[in-house]
A and B are shown apart, each in its own frame.
Chain A
């Protein structure tokens, strides 16, 4: 394997458990995936499926009663490889923002209202690059603001003087300030109106490409995923149930849950008739036996109730966690859809 091909982030068997009063909740249950440099991975799933917990686990920001039970998350940097989950507290603090950065849904409250934007950027530089002079730090911060198309004077403004879109751009500027290898964007546009949403997304995509960083984009918006990402991971009850290239995901979804998600999207040719997915996501306190999705699955089989589904890696680099594909090497889904990504786009 050449250096070019080796992934920038390699996550293996990540498990996060919350020890609540009602019992143990495994919010991330054995997730594994690779991310190449420059790749954009979408992470979708219902609320409570564990996608934000996964992001927090990669940032090592899981707070008690939560705990990272097992797994590794190896990032390749120019100085070699580091396992984020094995770093000591101080090394992890330094890795945040400089190796892996997190861009929150910043339109609301992610910036401190009583500090100027510039000060909040300088704080980050001070924490990671204290050898820089004050003038150099200011130049770096202003360059980051310029790269997200914000005027220079934003540096001296307070957050309440900015619009929601501008605040989100500030968060992106902070996220790229130290050229991280991996960027996690947790619903970065969900509080913005659609026009601003597209502008902010284009900005995020452009700076990510300039850095050559890998991007994990968390959200529910399948249309956005279709436009922005290379691959999409679908999460259900703490597990990845399918990871596919975005085109294949929309034209030929493998997992019945993915199929249901795609069918629930508005389409141009059957206006007003959306299929909704029956039932609700299971309580993580009492997971169903066998395949966790079987109570809601349209193609449920006898084996699904008894045995957990196999992890299937297909020849065309797709991943699916389902009994439908367990036996044969050639994946031949019994149900296919014909939605094309073009139709899904807005």
Chain B
């Protein structure tokens, strides 16, 4: 791989990340909600402070978080602390740092979403490939339609149905959370704990899988229909290759290329794609954290999670760009 190409590609990625962070910095500031005031207003209602004391407290905290300075100075401050790797403090949950909150939530999200993303990719692509293959049995071809219908239902609605029927009525699985709170004081590395986590993860995973597998199947079937009519597939059959070999090396291998791009993008949006489902199931991942942060307009937590999302998308797109020539020899490294 030419070094110049790699450098250009990395420079482009840095530019993308910087522009996204900048946009993200100004976006929550358009909201009239002052996170500091939000935090203390409730305290004031319950303790009955004088409004004057509240104003003073807000002032002190605004100075502490640097919110009293002009916006462009805050931007410079934020960017320079970012470069030092400092994500700042959460306003709502001061003195906890944003880095600390994210580190606690991230493993849950990555654990749930990476498994569901890989599963949906595998199942959906497999069904789509079989659906477009002329020798598949009829029932496999008919599988795509119900999956597409499921894909039209938003995952949180599907999640509600699953909670109602499987968790609430049938009581087969827990209704929410990541593990049984009474049984375990915190995450630990033991078999009963992992089993408990898996039981809690089934329903959120199922709502994510059922609501996205149709898209993968549809995409793969579309490519498969094109590829199975190509001359090289026919010629492979003329060569007397086994159907198995034709299926994998001359059909799936060619039809899967766009799916791989989509998979990388799905991995990039892993952080954000499960937000509603996580919230619905009370799953302690980034989605729940982001939801709480947005409600309170907790700038620095929003920035921190946004940064991770942006980085994940940008990095995975760069990885696809760099790996694609290995998958498709017709693509070469030329311009960034």
**Residues on A facing B (Cβ under 8 Å):** 59, 61, 63, 93-98, 101-102, 104, 106, 108-116, 123-124, 126-128, 158, 160, 171, 174
Distance in Å: Cβ of A293 to nearest Cβ of chain B: 31
Q: Contacting B239 at CB < 8 Å: which of A63, A109, A174?
A: A174
Residues of A contacting B253 in the complex (Cβ-Cβ under 8 angstroms) = 112, 114-115
Interface of B is mostly: helix
Q: Contacting A59 at CB < 8 Å: which of B238, B249, B327, B328?
A: B238
Q: How far is A203 from B55 in the complex, measured between Cα atoms in Å?
A: 93
Interface residues of B in 306-336 (CB under 8 A from A): 327-330
Contact status B245-A123, CB under 8 Å: yes
Distance in Å: Cβ of A174 to nearest Cβ of chain B: 6
Q: How far is A59 from B240 in the complex, measured between Cα atoms in Å?
A: 10
Interface size on B, residues (CB 8 A): 23
Residues of A contacting B230 in the complex (Cβ-Cβ under 8 angstroms) = 109
Q: How far is A92 from B237 in the complex, measured between Cα atoms in Å?
A: 11
Nearest CB to that of B240 among chain A residues? Answer: A96
Contact status B245-A110, CB under 8 Å: no
Q: List 25 A-B contacts (CB under 8 A).
A: A63-B134, A93-B242, A96-B239, A98-B240, A102-B235, A102-B238, A104-B231, A108-B231, A109-B232, A110-B231, A111-B232, A111-B235, A112-B249, A112-B254, A113-B254, A114-B257, A114-B328, A114-B330, A115-B253, A123-B236, A124-B241, A127-B241, A158-B330, A160-B329, A160-B330
Contact status B239-A113, CB under 8 Å: no
- Asked, given contacts A111-B232, A158-B329, whether A97 binds B237 with beta carbons under 8 Å apart, the answer is no
- Residue-wise, chain B 47-73 has the 8 Å CB interface mask toward A (1 for contact) of 000000000000000000000000000
Q: Does B19 contact A (CB under 8 A)?
A: no
- Residue-wise, chain B 214-236 has the 8 Å CB interface mask toward A (1 for contact) of 00000000000000001110111
Distance in Å: Cβ of A265 to nearest Cβ of chain B: 30
Interface residues of B in 162-202 (CB under 8 A from A): none
Contact status A104-B240, CB under 8 Å: no
Distance in Å: Cβ of A90 to nearest Cβ of chain B: 9
Q: Contacting A109 at CB < 8 Å: which of B231, B241, B327?
A: B231
Distance in Å: Cβ of B259 to nearest Cβ of chain A: 14
Q: How far is A115 from B328 in the complex, measured between Cα atoms in Å?
A: 9
- Asked, given contacts A158-B330, A160-B330, whether A101 binds B249 with beta carbons under 8 Å apart, the answer is no
Q: Does B89 contact A (CB under 8 A)?
A: no
Q: Does B121 contact A (CB under 8 A)?
A: no
Distance in Å: Cβ of A40 to nearest Cβ of chain B: 20
Distance in Å: Cβ of B138 to nearest Cβ of chain A: 13
Nearest CB to that of A106 among chain B residues? Answer: B235
Interface of A is mostly: helix
- Residue with the greatest number of chain A CB neighbours at <10 A, chosen from B231, B232, B328: B232
Residues of A contacting B232 in the complex (Cβ-Cβ under 8 angstroms) = 109-113
Residues of A contacting B254 in the complex (Cβ-Cβ under 8 angstroms) = 112-114
Q: How far is A111 from B250 in the complex, measured between Cα atoms in Å?
A: 9
Q: Contacting A97 at CB < 8 Å: which of B231, B239, B245?
A: B239
Contact status A113-B329, CB under 8 Å: yes
Residues of B contacting A127 in the complex (Cβ-Cβ under 8 angstroms) = 239-242, 245
Contact status A115-B242, CB under 8 Å: no
Return the 10 tightest CB-CB contacts between A and B, nearest first. A96-B240, A109-B231, A102-B238, A112-B232, A110-B235, A158-B329, A97-B240, A124-B239, A110-B231, A127-B241
Residues of B contacting A158 in the complex (Cβ-Cβ under 8 angstroms) = 329-330
Q: How far is A109 from B240 in the complex, measured between Cα atoms in Å?
A: 18
Contact status B235-A94, CB under 8 Å: no
Distance in Å: Cβ of A36 to nearest Cβ of chain B: 24
Q: Contacting B238 at CB < 8 Å: which of A97, A108, A115?
A: A97
Nearest CB to that of A161 among chain B residues? Answer: B329
Nearest CB to that of B243 among chain A residues? Answer: A93
- Residue with the greatest number of chain B CB neighbours at <10 A, chosen from A94, A97, A108, A114: A114
Contact status A93-B240, CB under 8 Å: yes
Q: How far is A101 from B239 in the complex, measured between Cα atoms in Å?
A: 7
Residues of B contacting A110 in the complex (Cβ-Cβ under 8 angstroms) = 231-232, 234-235
Nearest CB to that of A63 among chain B residues? Answer: B134
Nearest CB to that of A177 among chain B residues? Answer: B239
Distance in Å: Cβ of A201 to nearest Cβ of chain B: 20
Contact status A104-B242, CB under 8 Å: no
- Residue-wise, chain B 235-269 has the 8 Å CB interface mask toward A (1 for contact) of 11111111001000110011001000000000000
Residues of A contacting B329 in the complex (Cβ-Cβ under 8 angstroms) = 113-114, 116, 158, 160
- Residue with the greatest number of chain A CB neighbours at <10 A, chosen from B234, B327, B328: B234
Contact status A95-B235, CB under 8 Å: no
Q: Contacting A123 at CB < 8 Å: which of B249, B257, B330?
A: B249
Q: How far is A94 from B241 in the complex, measured between Cα atoms in Å?
A: 8
- Asked, given contacts A63-B134, A104-B231, A158-B330, whether A112 binds B240 with beta carbons under 8 Å apart, the answer is no
Nearest CB to that of B233 among chain A residues? Answer: A112
Contact status A104-B327, CB under 8 Å: no
Distance in Å: Cβ of A230 to nearest Cβ of chain B: 24
